[in-house]
Chain A
């Protein structure tokens, strides 16, 4: 089994493969004369969206009255919601943070859902595709630019990218344009890194899982070798899976945290 084949199990595809030879091909549909192949990641994204709606709309009806929610799962969801609002959005963004909280909640739970779907056999993590993480990074970038532009005004927002400097007369005219270019480039890079960090972490984690699993099929030449390889491979897969569950939460947190931080920096540049 070569690396490309292993990566194929991590990447998107036009079919689902479940244990015990269950196989589902996904259809190709036509939208406005354009042929679109429905893929595994598209289905997972739709499932995550449906699950989010199913989880949070009933929760909202419970919380709306202003009374404490009952039930372990509802309380768990509320802990996440309050953590994002009180420990991420408000400290990072400062005044006016509550306006961004719904977007941050959506980003966090969307990423978390996409990450966690990778832990279910037969599914995958759409966040292991930079086609998905790039969209999320672009959304973060646009939010940051819009937040800064609305707060400071478009011109002042871009000018505020250059930090305040006390330089002798004349030197500022040379340094500031250079710094402007560097800082604006940095702004793009920061969001590009958001995309790559999420993608790389999820992709690498699932790739490692796929590699450890592939050892088992590679060692299926004799029962002794197969047994010797399967047990440590399975143990390692379990350990990496536990790590991946942690990474799923961690990366959702990091993305949300950094996005909040960037929004805060855009709104309060100095």
Chain B
């Protein structure tokens, strides 16, 4: 606090006195802890500061501000473009995902339909085949039965014919046991034909 008061008083007194910078020959400011306020230096500082401010404002700060703003604008534009592209890409991705999901569902539906159709077709074919088989079986059975009846009829007719022929033969010959056997054998052999 004491130091501050001292500095404060010295500064105020110096400002009031407004002395110019006077130094002893060849000195570098010796003469007191705090030098007096130097109006020449203050004026010089003011001039130098405003010169540098004006020069830099014209040739440096203006172009730098302009360049920085331009760069910021460029970065912002790039960023918004990137964000836009990103949003578009996301939308496209979502769209493609939805399309893919639809396609998958469609494929699954098609597969299921195809499977159902194939199953139905196979069942129809199977049914038809079974009925065909059944019909053929029935026809064959009928044919066999007809053939059997025909055969029986033919057998009966042949038997009767043979019996008549045999009776005729017996009646015409005197039969010894040997001839008797011979006739039977012939009749059996003819029966096989």
Whether B21 lies near A12 (C-beta < 8 A) is yes
Say yes or no: is A267 at the interface (Cβ < 8 Å to chain B): no
Whether B11 lies near A14 (C-beta < 8 A) is no
0 or 1 for each of B55-88: is its CB under 8 Å from A? (1 = yes): 1110111111111101101100000000000000
Interface size of B as a range: 35 or more
Provide the residues of chain A in CB contact with B73, threshold 8 Å: 66
Whether B29 lies near A196 (C-beta < 8 A) is no
Say yes or no: is B41 at the interface (Cβ < 8 Å to chain A): yes
Provide the residues of chain A in CB contact with B27, threshold 8 Å: 8, 13-15
**Which chain A residues have a beta carbon within 8 Å of chain B's beta carbons?**
3-5, 7-15, 17, 25, 36-37, 39-42, 45-46, 48-49, 52-53, 56-57, 59-68, 81-82, 85, 98, 101-103, 105-106, 110, 126, 129-132, 134-136, 139, 195-196, 200
CA distance A4 to B22 in the complex (A): 16
Whether A130 lies near B14 (C-beta < 8 A) is yes
Q: Name the CB-closest residue of A to B32.
A: A4
Q: Measured between C-beta atoms, what is the minimum distance from A59 to chain B in Å?
A: 7
0 or 1 for each of B13-29: is its CB under 8 Å from A? (1 = yes): 01100001111001111
Say yes or no: is B189 at the interface (Cβ < 8 Å to chain A): no
Whether A15 lies near B11 (C-beta < 8 A) is no
Whether A131 lies near B60 (C-beta < 8 A) is no
25 A-B residue contacts at CB 8 Å?
A: A4-B30, A4-B31, A4-B33, A8-B30, A11-B30, A12-B28, A13-B28, A36-B20, A39-B21, A39-B23, A45-B44, A45-B48, A49-B48, A57-B56, A60-B59, A61-B63, A66-B70, A102-B61, A106-B57, A130-B34, A131-B37, A132-B42, A134-B37, A135-B45, A139-B49
CA distance A129 to B37 in the complex (A): 8
3 A-B pairs with least C-beta separation:
A13-B28, A66-B70, A11-B29
Q: Name the CB-closest residue of A to B51.
A: A49
Provide the residues of chain B in CB contact with A139, threshold 8 Å: 46, 49
Partner of A53, one of B39, B55, B68, B71: B55
Q: Name the CB-closest residue of A to B66.
A: A64
